[in-house]
Amino acid sequence: MLKVGVNLPAFGVDESAGVREHARHAERLGLESVWVGDHLLPVRPYLDSTIVLATAAAVTERVKIGFGVMILALRPVAWAAKQIASLQHLSGDRVLLGVGSGGSVHGDAAWRAVGIPYAERARRTDAALEILPSLVEGKPTDVNGEVIALSPGATMPPVLIGAGPIRRAARFADEWYPAFSAPAEIAEQTGRLAGLAAEYGRPVPRVTIGLSVGLGDLPASVIDAQARSLMEYGMSEEEARRGLITGPPAAAAERFAELAEVGVHRVIGMPFPADRLRQSELLAETNRLLNP
């Protein structure tokens, strides 16, 4: 059964009510999860991810809440663990912890602002991932030479490792979380992932994928604008357009089914049209076609 989630709108202070409405709407529609991006100084402004997810958790009961993805190395790891554990308590163990190291498209200003060398973000991400589970669980953990135990501890949530070195996913992830990838690319990379996971004596991570979606009858200008937006992340125009999911729910269901065939178990829709509530409804219709 392919799980379907949706990104929440969290692009500014005026969106705070929208977070509550969209989270409740997604739960009523039967979507599996709601997600939010994370960065201190992102390309497009959005609210703090932990507060957005706490808001979503407070107005829902079932839907899972996901970081898509937490830039772990921007935070002291003990504080990150405290936030994650608190969200687990507030949500009833509904957290899905996506983790990334921060893409170059966002630049290095945020890293300078928190006093972390940009070139060290990958190493610091790996170091944080090594001790994060014991911190979240409230176990005594050595952090910078100080042994601490956070209280109250919580259940460590599933870890989804975003784009970056696939070896990191093999070493730390419960799931690998790429974005905008075609089925052939997923199949190729999961083969590598299985081999690397075996080196670490770990199970092969499952696959969650994020996709830019604009379902229904949209003007070509809206689709063109989104393709240009994706090209800012280093994609060619062909790659950007291939990464878009457009058309009616039946067409989206076909695309999602192709991904399921190569091992994807969750798709996260990242809507780009303005009417995001309607996009959630169309995603839910896609989900019903996939999972009648």
The string of pLDDT tens digits covering residues 160-198 is: 998 778 999 999 999 999 987 788 889 999 999 999 999
Q: What pLDDT band is residue 245 in, cutting at 50, 70 and 90?
A: very high
Q: What is the CATH number of the domain that holds 157?
A: 3.20.20.30
Res 259: pLDDT: 95
Least confident of 3-12, 116-125, 250-259: 3-12
Residue 29, phi then psi, degrees to nearest 5: -75, -10
Report in angstroms the alpha-carbon separations of 187 from 131, 163, 244, 288.
Answer: 31, 15, 19, 25
From the list 88, 72, 58, 77, the residue with the least C-alpha distance to 152 is 88
From the list 97, 73, 240, the residue with the least C-alpha distance to 156 is 97
CB-based contact 64:5 (threshold 8 Å): yes
The string of pLDDT tens digits covering residues 208-222 is: 999 999 999 999 999
Structure tokens at 161: 């490792």
What is the span of the domain harbouring residue 127? 3-290
pTM for this model (two decimals): 0.95
The share of the chain scoring above pLDDT 70, in percent, equals 98
β-pair type (146-148, 141-143): antiparallel
Res 12: pLDDT: 59
Residue 71, phi then psi, degrees to nearest 5: -85, 85
Residue that the structure tokens 């997810």 belong to: 53
Res 242: pLDDT: 85
Task: State the total domains in the chain.
Answer: 1
